[in-house]
Every structure is written in structure tokens, then in C-alpha cells.
Chain A
Amino acid sequence: MTNALEIEGLTKIYGDGFEALKGIDLHVAEGDFFALLGPNGAGKSTTLGIVCSLVNKTAGKVRVFGSDIDTHLSDAKLNLGVVPQEFNFNQFEKVFDIVTTQAGYYGIPLKQASVSAEKYLKKLGLWDKRNTPARMLSGGMKRRLMIARALVHEPKLLILDEPTAGVDIELRRSMWIFLEEMNRQGTTIILTTHYLEEAEALCRNIAIIDHGKILKHTSKKALLQQLSLETFVLDTEVPLDAAPELGDFHTRLDGEGALEVEVQKGQGLNQVFVQLDQLGIKVISMRTKANRLEELFIRMVEENAVDSSKSVEGAA
């Protein structure tokens, strides 16, 4: 199967000497729903910016559906749709004009562009706002406008940089459904997000990037299998004064008096309840402290931070 995106040895050093990308390799298969995760400043937006021609690379190769951006940039761009993190449309233009103008940049005549714009504006619930200047839209509508604009030329690869940042839960869920539908219809999707539950819910493959290096590049399933520890938060009927001893399970009280229990891979959760029952502690509700991917992500990034500081000390 063709790769939608291939990145080899991608390096970016900004004018001030900051090395944002340190020779990363990445590939995304056609039809994939792929998440690029990392803390702020990790290099996610720089990577996507280079793929979309918004950032000049220092070294390395980028191919979009086999088209090298150094030699076949136009072909690569024709296959790409981009939804950036920040609003980047003319706030004074009308919604319909923004979408059809973008289609025009891809060489699509107005008549054909109007049909495509209508299709996506309707799908994204913006058709009633087509004659409204963009500045009059709510934040959620502006995000949806950027998605409609990115899709108007029917790209094979859709790149979304934090598409649901600042969007309420209801709208976020409806955007997930829309993106899943696009992916089912064959569009390869790459997204960056801070909401790790979003990546866990939507994506099949994941790369974690930090300090300009890829820490992990694997399937979500394989990644989650590495999760050896999960923390559960138990709300008890009677508030506890101290964390009870539960054998092999590590326990502590959180700031609000709820009991946190760490469960290792292979340990049965029912053992926790048996022991709590023996101690006469009644549990009224339970939740995971963070979603599974978040636990892994935090651990990897923390470990990388420790490794980085060690190497700095070593160099000093």
C-alpha cells in the first residue's frame, strides 16, 4: 500500500539556532487515522508546517503520496488539505467566498467550487451562514469553516493541527463523527491534539514526539499494551482520614479525599474491592485518573525529559 506521508531525516533549525526537529522519520499509510502527539514545543506544528509548505525545512525528505516536496511540490500540495491551529482566513470575507476562493487556488472553476463548497458547508452545519462575514462566526463555527475550506478540493490527505482546541464537548463529538466518516470514505487523516482521549477514540496509529525526536511510532493497540500501570480513583461513602493498606496495591488519598489505587498489569481489580470490603469501606463510584493513553504519554515525556537532562549534564 502507498504511504500517504513519508518523512525521512527531517531537520529544522530556526534562525535563532533552535533545533526544532532532530532528523525525524515518520510514515503514515494511506487510509490511516494517525495522531502526532507531543507537549507544547515538541515539534508537532513544525513537522506539519513543513509538510504543508508553511515552514522551510533545513534537511530531510518529505513525500506526500510519493510526490517529493522538493521536486514535485505542486503534486504534493494537490493531495493535501490543511486545518491549522490558528484561524487564518480573512475575517472580512463571507464564509462562501472563503471556501470557493480556496478552491480557486487549486484551479477549480467557480461553478464546480460552488457545488463542493455547498456540500461541505452543509455537512458542517454552516450553509445558513454562507453569506455571513467570517468575523461574525462563533469559535466553533470558525473551526468548522477551516475544515470545509480544507476539504473543498477533495484532498486525499487531511492534516488537522489541534482541530478541536477550545471547542465545547458536544461540538467536539460531532467533529469526531464527521472526521471518522471522512476517514471511512478513504481520506487519510493526520491530527495533532492535546486531548489524548481524542487520539485514543479516533486514531489507529500514533507517534509521540518530544524535543524534536520521535519517542514512539506504533499502533495505538501496541502502545496501549505497553501500559503496565493504571490509576483508579474511588469515591468512598465515608471520607477516609488515611489511605488504607491494600496488599500489593499502592494507595494514596487525592486532594479531595478520594482514594487513588494504582493497578499493575496482571493484577485483578476485584482484589481491590475484596480488600476494601474486608475493611468495611464502601465505594460509591469509580473512574480512571487519566485515560490510558494519557498515562503512557505522560510517562514517556517525563522519561524523555530525564534522559535529556542527563545527556545535558553529561555534555557539561
Chain B
Amino acid sequence: MTPHAMFTAFSTIVIREVRRFTRIWPQTLLPPAVTMTLYFIIFGNLIGSRIGQMGGFDYMSFIVPGLIMMAVITSSYANVVSSFFSMKFQRSIEELLVSPVPNWVILTGYVVGGMARGLGIGLIVTLVSLAFTQLSIHNLPMMILTVFLTSALFALGGFINAMLATKFDDISIVPTFILTPLTYLGGVFYSIDLLPGFWQGVSMINPILYMVNGFRYGILGVSDVNPFISLGMILFFITVLAVIALKMLERGKGIRH
């Protein structure tokens, strides 16, 4: 395929992904907005006013970056895992397999589709948060870079999950039993300074901690970890997952007999 043809194939995949999640917007775009509004009201307003300051900021301002990141992570992952698995389930994945689209274009198309939903949700949640607090941005490039790379990383995670899944249960196990606990323990609602030394050490092996803090640094200028280490960690995980996903596509894991 020529580079122009590859770009057409790539944009076809992205457009199809965007068309899919906008067509079913009550399932994809609305729920995170409602959930995050409840988080802002309950944790930010009601409970947050009794907690006082965290990391030098009022509690509402402290949790906003984490909640935005939580929505981005969940949505990027969910978009790719459900879309790709549904294509496997309906066998419409064969439309791609018989075509000359290179594997890396397929992967990039799905990842960008997942990022489109994740970042779209991130924007919606940010707009909702403005109704509860004022956001001042400390480091815009860091904020944008962190959120884009995190979205890409979890879209890749969703892709691998979908490749390995053989039934619908398999696509909910990782989000429920791995992603959600890691996100909640990733410093969304608290600074790890509050934890005893041992648990601070344990928290440092949670990759989501780096993403939440990198993003928080971009907005508030405070972080439990060095923001550049955060970026390095995200890039490292992206590379590892992208190599795994491409190997799986090459071998046709779960999609070719």
C-alpha cells in the first residue's frame, strides 16, 4: 500500500470508531459525565469541605485532575476493548484481515479511536468540573502530553485484552479487578504522603500513580513523583504494550485459526 492509501485506511478505522461511540452516546459519553458529577458533589463538595487541604490545595481542586484522568483511562480502555471484541464476536474483523491494511495501521487506528473517546470524555469531565471549581493550568505541555500518552497506553491495553478475550466476561475482568483498584489506589483521592512508608513504596509500583501525578503536576504544579519520571514510565509501558499487540496481530492471536 502507498503511504496515502495507508492514511486512508487509518482514517477509515478512526472514523468508524468515532461513528460507533457517538452513535451510542447514551452508553459511552453520558455515563462518565453523570458519574464524575456525583464524585464532584459527594467527594468534592460534601466530604471535601470537611477534609480541608491536600497537597496545598482545597480537596476539590486536588481531586479534579485525578478524576479527569480516571475518566480518560476508563473510556480509552473501554472503547477499544468493546469495539474490537465486538468485531471479533460478529466476525466483522475479517473485513480488516482480508484487506491489505498493515497491522501497525490497524493498531494505530484503534488506539486513536480509543483516544478520541477517552480525550472527549476528559474534555466533558473538565467542563463539568468547572461548575465546581476553578482550574488554573501550571504546565500546559506537561498536562497535554500526559493525558494523550495515558489515553494511548490504556487504548493499547484494551486492544490486548480484546485480542485475548474469548467471551464477553473476559472484557470486563481486567477493568473490574485490575483497572479500577489500581486507579482508586493511584492517588486520585489522596496524596501518598498520607500513607505509611511501606505502602508508599507499594504505591510506587502502581503505574497509574505516575499518570495521575503527572497530570496533576500539569494542572496544579504538585506531584508525589517527578513528572518527567511519570512521562518516562508511560512511554516505556506504551512501547512494551505496542510490541506485544503487534506480535499478537502478526500471529493472529484469537483472530486467525
Contact = CB atoms under 8 A, between A and B. Distances in A.
Interface stretch (A1-9, A81-89, A261-269): A81-89
A56 to B, nearest CB: 5
B1 A52 contact: no
B98 interface: yes
A54 B90 contact: no
Given A54-B256, A97-B19, A107-B4, A88 B92 contact: yes
Nearest to A79: B100
Contact of B91 (A53, A73, A82, A88): A88
B95 A101 contact: yes
B201 interface: no
Contacts of A149: 95
B257 interface: yes
Nearest to A106: B99
A77 interface: yes
A109 interface: yes
B193 interface: no
Interface in A52-76: 52-56, 73-75
A49 B87 CA distance: 18
Give the size category of A's interface with B.
20 to 34
A106 B6 CA distance: 8
A190 interface: no
Contacts of B94: 54, 82, 84, 88
**Chain B facing A: main interface SS:** helix
Most chain-B Cβ atoms within 10 A of its Cβ — which of A56, A92, A97, A106? A106
B90 A53 contact: no
A55 B257 contact: yes
Give the size category of B's interface with A.
20 to 34
A107 B6 contact: yes
B134 interface: no
Given A88-B94, A89-B90, A97-B19, A107 B257 contact: no
A186 to B, nearest CB: 21
A89 B16 CA distance: 13
A78 B100 CA distance: 6
Nearest to B7: A107
B87 A54 contact: no
Contacts of A80: 98
9 contacts: A73-B100, A84-B94, A88-B91, A97-B16, A104-B12, A105-B12, A105-B101, A106-B100, A107-B9
